[in-house]
Chains A and B, each alone.
Chain A
């Protein structure tokens, strides 16, 4: 049994929040650079060049790369041989979020859904914990913007819809989102599981590197075929028209019920931010 004090968790979340909100992950930046080279339309090119320039400014000036520093999503894999001492795990995570959003001038965007009164410190974080083997804690921090979250959808398809139905659901979600979620988007997809589990799979898919593929060949094929179809929609960067409507499609899969084929499509804007660490 390994003991980890809650203050270590708080400090790790603090550092991850800072790292994630200040810059794009390198695979996202590379995808935007490629798109800027390939796009021919003047407005599309202007949009992509502006985004790359913005990433440089954020780095130089130590500013949040996007003002929507998001809902703080924390995915935690906690080794079964770890004993957490001190505060509750969730309290430690929220303390790290609270301190980082204040210290680094990140926007506090969390509010009551009905009264719209802001919690003023960007808590609570959305925390998903999973028990794993070993004596370590693996933390992934994803600041999730809501312009893109708003455009996400869940489909409860019938099994008869099969692979083609899954691809259609992904492409339809991006088509309906149009210019609203800050294209070019990164598309996280959950296939299978339950209604709730499927959505979490889609969120997890967004923590993968842009351009990575699912190890299962048939799933990787869905990723490639869906991406190709999405980029034939013509929505383009910022909806100005063009061939880059998405920079990637990332699918995660889990067993489901004999009666169903859930598909969750979680849209991420082009500002893919994510940070990971192991304690």
Chain B
């Protein structure tokens, strides 16, 4: 029988809810033509905890621990986004030492988050070794966090008006040691992956995200920088004390999976620089200003955003002058970044979908909230 006479048909594949490459609970309903993807429909909401509803029922200070759970890979940054929004609304001036500590912790957490990403991304593509290497260094950062606030994942470190604890004795030498060895470790990951022929074959020219699509789908963070746009909220609208530090914003060229990988690797180097400068310039003084337990902010609203490891994290807070927020709307990076997946993964092979999904660094609790 001639091959033209064979009957072919499209079929559906359910990827997830629990699939190793979805890093969380996300179901992708994929329409396939042989090995080729024709369309994707993401189903999210499995981790929906209605954090925005909870916020209406808690005081401003009580809500801080919930922000940790929005993005558990980068809790410090999630804390930072919320407290800066509340402080901006109420006009609270944070002591300089607290700002330095916040930036230091946020950047360390950015490195830790990127390390989780590189580990899981490599494992999705079949490279097991980088996973062990990356988690080895992440452990050092988690040790530093544990020394400071006793937690390893959900820190609840920042509070309205400053930070909850000062750094303990022995933190500084340990941090300096980490900063000394870490740049070499990044080179080590690069040695394992960057020019590895199999890795290149899996990532070069795959999942190209062009600029217009990125704009239309509001993609942010390393995912849009991979497409070549030098856009970083730390530089564009400096919050906290980011304007005091000297760092570069790494960008890619073509917007493929490999570019997004390279941007995140270079970001880890830049974050190391920021932490180095923060520890050198760390001033003395208080770590927080007193904010009463049943504190009432003035009536009003605020929109504030920061650069989290995955991109833009924004808070829109409406206050009615009571101790509880009237409404908090949280915009997270993964929410928009996941929407672009069906657009850029179409016509790729199903094996490439794993690489593309991994390269967007979507974290599902952030999508579902």
Are A and B subunits of one complex? no
Residues in chain B within 8 A of chain A (CB atoms): none
